[in-house]
């Protein structure tokens, strides 16, 4: 008989030959179910028959995590240790940026568990007063660099407008019409970005310190990549490039 996603069914366990209860969670060429003991089996529709046994709480929890949204904090066990990350692409099959930003994990959402483990954080710095808001990327025009517009704030007040045309050039910055008077905001942002890079261990000069900070703030920071990890990754990459040139 045909099955629907969410149906309560039972089947004969292929190893124990005992009857076990399950819930249908995916229907494709075959039917995929997860049992009350969180084992996953796939088979033809005839393998499964209707069941009226109540669903246990741990299976309810499992079914609630069959999809994960972008930004979800997750964890999973790998080689006996817990690994933590943030979902960068949500859905039934997800991409997770692992803490530190150097690796990604990909797989079905049910392989990951929601986590309360705190995100890594940096020590305080002057750059904490800066933020990027209203970031909008036009992917159709993003070729060599992201094509975007954004507002940069200082202590919550808009001070700069930022943009890039997507053709590979550096970002453009202009004073926001509502910026407080008396400060050269683009110069201040550059000076603070240079000090930020030095504070968090940048060993090799970054081309475009302001652009680098903005990119980190938008693409890495939301996924738990600290400034220290960002520059550790930069140092490792530049060291490899220099070694290759020798």
DSSP string covering the chain: ----TT-EEEEE-TTT--EEEEEEEEESSSEEEEETT--EEEE-GGG-EE--PPPPHHHHHHHHTSSB-TT-EEEEEETTEEEEEEEEE-BSEEEEEETTSS-EEEEEGGGSEE--PPPP-PPP-GGGGEEEEEEEE-GGG-SSS-EEEEEEEETTEEEEEEEEESSSPPPEEEE-TTSPTT--HHHHHHHHHHHHHHHTT--S--SSHHHHHHHIIIIIGGGT--HHHHHHHHHHHHHHHHHHH-
**What is the chain's Cα-based Rg?**
24
Note the pLDDT tens digit of each residue in 13-69. 999 999 999 999 989 889 999 999 999 999 999 999 999 999 999 999 888 888 999
CB atoms within 10 A of CB 123: 10
Confidence of residue 95 (pLDDT cuts 50, 70, 90): very high
Q: In the beta sheet, which residues pair with residue 11?
A: 20
Query: Residue 2 has what pLDDT?
Result: 79
Contact 7, 23 (CB under 8 A): yes
Query: Residue 204 has what pLDDT?
Result: 85
Rounded-to-integer distance, Cα 71 and Cα 88, Å: 6
Rounded-to-integer distance, Cα 130 and Cα 214, Å: 10
pLDDT (average), residues 81-97: 94
Query: Residue 36 has what pLDDT?
Result: 96
Taking every pair of Cα atoms in the chain, the longest distance, rounded to a whole number of angstroms, is: 79
Query: Residue 133 has what pLDDT?
Result: 98
Q: Is the pTM of this model over 0.85?
A: no
Query: Residue 171 has what pLDDT?
Result: 97
pLDDT (average), residues 200-226: 93
pLDDT (average), residues 109-125: 92
Apex 24 CA angle, 83 and 70, nearest 5: 40
The bridge status of strand 73-78 relative to strand 49-50 is unpaired
Query: Residue 1 has what pLDDT?
Result: 60
pLDDT (average), residues 214-236: 93
Q: Which of 201, 196, 199, 228 has its CA nearest to residue 214?
A: 196
Note the pLDDT tens digit of each residue in 136-154. 999 999 999 999 999 999 9
Query: Residue 246 has what pLDDT?
Result: 67
For the record, the structure tokens of 23 come out as 């819930």
Confidence of residue 160 (pLDDT cuts 50, 70, 90): very high
CA distances from 46 to 30, 33, 198 (A): 10, 13, 64
């Amino acid at each position: 008989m045909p099955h629907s996603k969410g149906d309560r069914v039972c089947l004969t366990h292929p190893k124990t030959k005992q009857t076990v209860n399950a819930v249908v969670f995916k229907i494709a060429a075959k039917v995929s179910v997860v049992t009350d003991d969180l084992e996953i089996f796939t088979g033809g529709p005839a393998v499964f028959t209707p069941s009226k046994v109540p669903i246990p709480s741990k299976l309810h929890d499992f079914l609630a995590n069959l999809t994960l949204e972008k930004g979800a904090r997750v964890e999973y066990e790998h080689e006996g240790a817990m690994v933590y990350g943030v979902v960068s692409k949500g859905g039934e099959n997800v991409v997770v940026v692992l803490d530190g930003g150097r690796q990604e994990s990909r797989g079905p959402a049910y392989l990951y568990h929601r986590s309360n483990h705190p995100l890594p954080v940096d020590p305080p710095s002057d750059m904490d007063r800066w933020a990027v808001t209203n970031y909008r990327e036009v992917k159709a025009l993003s070729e060599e660099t992201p094509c975007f517009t954004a507002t940069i704030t200082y202590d919550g007040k808009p001070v700069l407008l930022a943009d890039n045309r997507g053709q590979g050039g550096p970002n453009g910055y202009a004073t926001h019409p509502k910026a407080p008077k008396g400060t050269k905001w683009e110069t201040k942002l550059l000076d603070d970005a240079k000090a930020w890079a030095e504070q968090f261990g940048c060993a090799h000069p970054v081309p475009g310190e302001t652009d680098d900070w903005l990119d980190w703030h938008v693409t890495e920071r939301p996924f738990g990549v600290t400034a220290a990890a960002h520059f550790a990754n930069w140092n490792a990459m530049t060291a490899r490039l220099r070694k290759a040139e020798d």
